[in-house]
Amino acid sequence: MTTPRALRDDITNALDFLRDAELIMYAGAVALGPTRVSWHAWSPATFLFERGRATPEQYLRWVLAGHYSAALPDGSLLQLTYDVRQGEVTGHRLAYVPCPVIVDEQLLREGEPIADVVTQYLDDSGASAVALRSPIRFEFAPNAAGDNHPAAHLTLNESHCRIACAAPMHPYRFLDFVYRQFYPDLRSAQEAWFSAAAGRLLGRNALTDADRDLPHMSWQVHGEIAAA
């Protein structure tokens, strides 16, 4: 049994811990609705409809509109959104959005606005400042599942790249994945917390036989290994 309030509390507690441990620079308030858990944006934007290739302009729109759950010390963003109905997670979008330029992190620590720092780098150096790093999204969309569209999937580079995943992903497991893969030195300073986070489970096995016939991502799902 999962509730929006329980997920809100999990995300809030995780972001509070990461902020206190100085593993994130800023965490926004977690927004709680009747069926959705997300973040409080400062202004509206066509957030979920921006499914094309990532661009610096898209990143800056999200930063300026406050469309993120947390900002990391290098200016990268975390975005966590869940939909819950009748005790079940019915959808989620968990994204890691790398900062499009390699910035001087000291500027951000001193309080310079992220958008101003990134814009200055782009103005000064143009395309040569851009770091070609792809956002990643773990998505769960069972109502849209079909051929070439696994219910749970990882998206890279292109919106039609959907690598099947074992199940919906718990927010703690997502955070462990991000720090394990992209910030291993930061993660090592909080090994105990992340090791516990990596084992958190959410939802049932979402892999079909067709998904298992292709390369896919697998992890333990409520006591069983979600792989053939």
Identify whether 4 is part of a domain. Answer: no
Structure tokens at 91: 């959808």
Identify whether 3 is part of a domain. Answer: no
Q: Dihedral (C-alpha) 142, 165, 14, 106: value to the nearest 10 degrees?
A: -120
**What is the length of the chain?**
228
Question: Is the pLDDT at 207 greater than 90, yes or no?
Answer: yes
Question: Is the pLDDT at 193 greater than 80, yes or no?
Answer: yes
Helices (H), 78-203: 105-109, 114-125, 171-182, 184-188, 191-197
* CA–centroid distance for 172 within its chain: 11
Identify whether 55 is part of a domain. Answer: yes
The number of domains in the chain is 1
Most confident segment among 87-96, 130-139, 211-220: 87-96
Over residues 75-129, the pLDDT tens digits come to 999 999 999 999 999 999 999 999 999 989 999 988 899 999 999 999 888 778 8
Over residues 36-79, the pLDDT tens digits come to 999 988 776 555 445 567 788 999 999 999 999 999 999 999 99
Residue 161: domain span: 9-225
Phi, psi at residue 75, to the nearest 5°? 90, -5
Give the whole-number percent of the chain exceeding pLDDT 90. Answer: 72
Identify whether 92 is part of a domain. Answer: yes
> What three-state secondary structure class fits 115?
helix
Q: Residue 222: what pLDDT?
A: 63
Lowest mean pLDDT segment, chosen from 31-45, 148-162, 196-210: 31-45
Q: Residue 44: what pLDDT?
A: 62
Q: Residue 52: what pLDDT?
A: 62
Identify whether 1 is part of a domain. Answer: no
